[in-house]
Amino acid sequence: MRREIGVAVIGTGFMGKAHALAYRAVPNAFPNSLKPRLVAVADVSEAGARQAAEQYGFERATGNWKTLLDDPNVHVVSITTPCSLHREMALAAIAAGKHVHCEKPIAPSASEALEMMKAAEAANVITQVGYNYIKNPILKLTREMIASGELGEVTSFRGVHAEDYMADPEIPYSWRVDPQNGAGALAEIGNHIVGMARFLLGPIAQVNAQLETVNKTRPVAPGSVERREVKVDDIARLIVQFERGCSGSIEANWAATGRKMQLEFEVYGTKGALLFSQERFNELKYFKAGADLRTAGFARIEAGPAHPPYDNFTVAGGHQLGFNDLKTIEMAEFLAAIEHRSPTFPDFREAWEIQRVVDAAIRSSAEGQRIPL
């Protein structure tokens, strides 16, 4: 029989749901994996926790997340709360000997992320952070193509993560724009494209950034005439230099009217180029230099069984993976790392490295100068 591993999830919002669905899907998609047992779920509202427990099949619910840490049946804790709560919860889970999955950004600042990383490594627990987009089989292919030299010497990178869920200036003030959660768009969605850039091209050596607040005030509550000043960014623009020698640009924008999921990048090299968009994330566009000019152009690489673990979900190309499938791959890799006591990626150390870039961008914008990491 497959060995079970007890899981607790803190938070029942969008990401809490994604974690629950992914843990439930792992045993079917990855039949050799540990079998997650959904032991407990916690939420700030006990009623919300009970509803999630009933919907997703958790054995019990609680309004006090700290009680999860005393449960010997809980081996893994998933943290899906606002960023300002991550540090306390992660440190407590680590101290209790639990393996920890934490949603991004790992912490409001690199110093807090460093503390969390050091605690996890000292306790020898497995950690993972929710940069699930890089679990895409097509993204793994992209990284392999770059590493193998198929693009030649990489000359530039251009990346953007733009959405419109904060475009309306009448959206009330909330934890999303509270500075205690760190930067705004840069921290919440910009860290995805920063992490993706690092995943593909390696460490970033220096940053020159400009952060902009478009919606400078927001109502304190829905329909309220009273407004509160916003002190975090809606748009962040970064010019970055990679340690490998090439440079690039990165943009984060959560006020991009009409955009729902423009997580995109372009990588250019002396022998070719690769283009990717999360809005069509089952395909990759590849240009190979030196082709016949009559037929030259970007070719479309379609995700399929040749790109593992695509075939864990469907046996034919063109049938496509979805967001929750990427989350399932993420959790399967996390559980495999726990089972085999092997490194996983991205862990708390990588999340700290990403947060260092975010912090450097904030400082760069404030000081009006380039910041080395």
Q: Which CATH class is domain 4-130?
A: alpha beta
pLDDT of residue 290: 87
- Residue from 275, 276, 279 nearest 261 by CA: 279
- Residue from 28, 38, 109 nearest 68 by CA: 38
Q: Which residues neighbour 357 within 8 Å (Cβ) at sequence distance 6 or greater?
A: 194, 198, 204, 207, 240, 373
pLDDT of residue 345: 96
Could you give the percent of the chain with pLDDT greater than 90?
Answer: 96
- Euclidean distance between CA atoms 150 and 161, whole angstroms: 26
The two structure tokens encoding residue 228? 């509160």
pLDDT of residue 2: 76
pLDDT of residue 1: 63
pLDDT of residue 219: 97
pLDDT of residue 292: 77
The two structure tokens encoding residue 285? 């566009």
DSSP string, 89-115: HHHHHHHTT-EEEEPSSS-SSHHHHHH
The strand pairing partners of 79, in sequence order, are: 10, 102
- Residue from 201, 194, 192 nearest 323 by CA: 192
**pTM for the whole structure:** 0.95
CATH T-level topology, domain 133-372: Dihydrodipicolinate Reductase; domain 2 (3.30.360)
Cα–Cα separations (whole angstroms), residue 132 to 61, 81, 128: 26, 16, 10
Q: What residue spans define the domains of the chain?
A: 4-130, 133-372
Q: What is the mean pLDDT of each run of 10 residues along the chain (373 residues)?
A: 92 97 97 97 96 97 97 98 96 98 97 98 98 97 98 98 98 94 94 98 98 98 96 98 98 98 98 97 96 85 97 95 98 98 96 98 97 97
- Euclidean distance between CA atoms 97 and 72, whole angstroms: 10
pLDDT of residue 320: 96
In this predicted model, what pLDDT tens digit does every residue of 93-130 receive, in sequence order? Answer: 999 999 999 999 999 999 999 999 999 999 999 999 99
- Residue from 26, 271, 266 nearest 135 by CA: 26
